[in-house]
Structure 1
Amino acid sequence: MSGDDYSIDAKLVIDYQSGNKMAMAQLVKRWHKTFCNKAYWIVKDKHVAKDIAQDSWKTIIEKVNDLNNPKTFASWSLRIVCNKSFDWIKKNKRTKERLETIQVNNETEELLEKDEREQLLSHLLEAINALPNHQQMVVKLFYTEAYSLKDISRTLHISEGTAKSRLYHAREKLKTILKNRTHEK
């Protein structure tokens, strides 16, 4: 990137900080594709990369007024994109590890071979994905993120009783779905 590019970015940042909202539109036009490409380079998923770029813009818009040296916009904003990309990778790794550690009761586990365990995990993930979105969120927050019912209620802006009810109904549906699959064999 040339010095002129840094000057253009710096001028747009200063214009935005001075109240010209169109300056941000120009920054988005100049940088959005680069953000998507950088995020894709890290996460290797086109759709996730677009989401990360969008989320990065939210953070940039919130914090750009605190940027003291507008000429550093490029490195500052790309650092935000990279950090959000790495955060996504860490979160996905934790979620995957937690789902893999869900164990069936000891008696069943002794009977299951490795392939059957993998198949059960696959069925469990399919069953969770078959739940309505509001129940999926509660199950994922409770089991994979280890949120308490109070934390879930605050995060989803619902009452603690609603969170508890959704978790209960999700468990019941999962039992039914998984029980039906074992009877299909």
Structure 2
Amino acid sequence: MKTTEKVFDGLVVLEYQSGNKKSLSILVKRHHARLCRHSYRYTYDFEASKDIVQDSWKVIISKLYTLKDPNSFSSWATKIVTRKSLDHLSRLKRTKKNIESIHKGSIINDVTDDKEAEIRKLLLAIKELPENQQMVLKLFYLEEYSLKEISSILNVSIGTTKSRLFHAREKLKGILKTKKR
């Protein structure tokens, strides 16, 4: 996420913390769709991701006054959505539902063009990676979070984040090379 966006979010958070309730709608408009996409990457279920983000907003709003670094709102909110998404998956596992059925309806099935076929191959290759490496790739390249922010979101060290990103890239190269043959 760009520095200017972080600063803008920080200013909006400070406005909210100082009593301007209208500033909350700005945060929701700026982040709701992104948070839904982030949750979807865990659940592969649009309806569940919307519910998770809705529940996350309740937590975000109730704890927004305690946020010490307003510029970190985006990564802080993403961390809350990540936790809620993981809790959701844990509940599914505890009830012994088939997790594979969640992956139905993935955007990969909708890809048809030549250029999109290449994207499909890349997405399929990414799906072959371990979940922790997939998440680091998505946060780094799609959401444009820094390594430090990713380590905070996933609650792992920066070294672990760097290692996962490195190994994900290397495995991805290997997977794509074997698919070309």
TM-score, normalised by the number of residues in structure 2: 0.53
CA RMSD of aligned residues (A): 0.9
The residue number in structure 2 matching 1:30 is 30
Q: Using the alignment, how far apart are the partners of 1:12 and 1:95 within structure 2?
A: 40
Query: Given residue 36 of structure 1, which amino acid in structure 2 is its aligned partner?
Result: C
More helix by share: 1
1:73 corresponds to 2:73: yes
1:82-104 alpha-carbon deviations (Å, 9 max, x no partner): 0000000001110127xxxxxxx
SS in 1 for 2:50: helix
Question: Unpaired runs of 5+ in structure 2?
Answer: 98-181
Deviation readout 1:16-63 (Å, 9 max, x if unpaired): 000101111000000000010000010000000000010010000000
Shift of residue 66 of structure 1?
A: 0.3
Residue 7 (structure 2) pairs with residue 7 (structure 1): yes
| Larger Rg over CA atoms | 1
Letter aligned with residue 85 of structure 1: S
Q: Name 1:152's counterpart in structure 2.
A: none
| Dislocated runs of 4+, deviation >2 Å | none
The answer on 1:17 being equivalent to 2:4 is no
CA offset digits 1:111-158 (Å, max 9, x no partner) = xxxxxxxxxxxxxxxxxxxxxxxxxxxxxxxxxxxxxxxxxxxxxxxx
Aligned residues: 97
Please state whether the residue corresponding to 1:20 is helix, strand or coil: coil
Map of 1:55 onto structure 2: 55
Aligned to 1:126: none
Kindly provide the CA deviation profile for residues 150-171 of structure 1, in whole angstroms up to 9, marking residues without a partner as x.
Answer: xxxxxxxxxxxxxxxxxxxxxx
Structural mapping, 1:32-181, within 5 Å: 32-96=32-96
Cα distance in 2 for partners of 1:26, 1:79 equals 19
Q: 1: CA distance between counterparts of 2:34 and 2:2? A: 15
TM-score scaled by length of structure 1: 0.52
Q: Secondary structure at the match of 2:39?
A: helix
Identity value in percent: 43
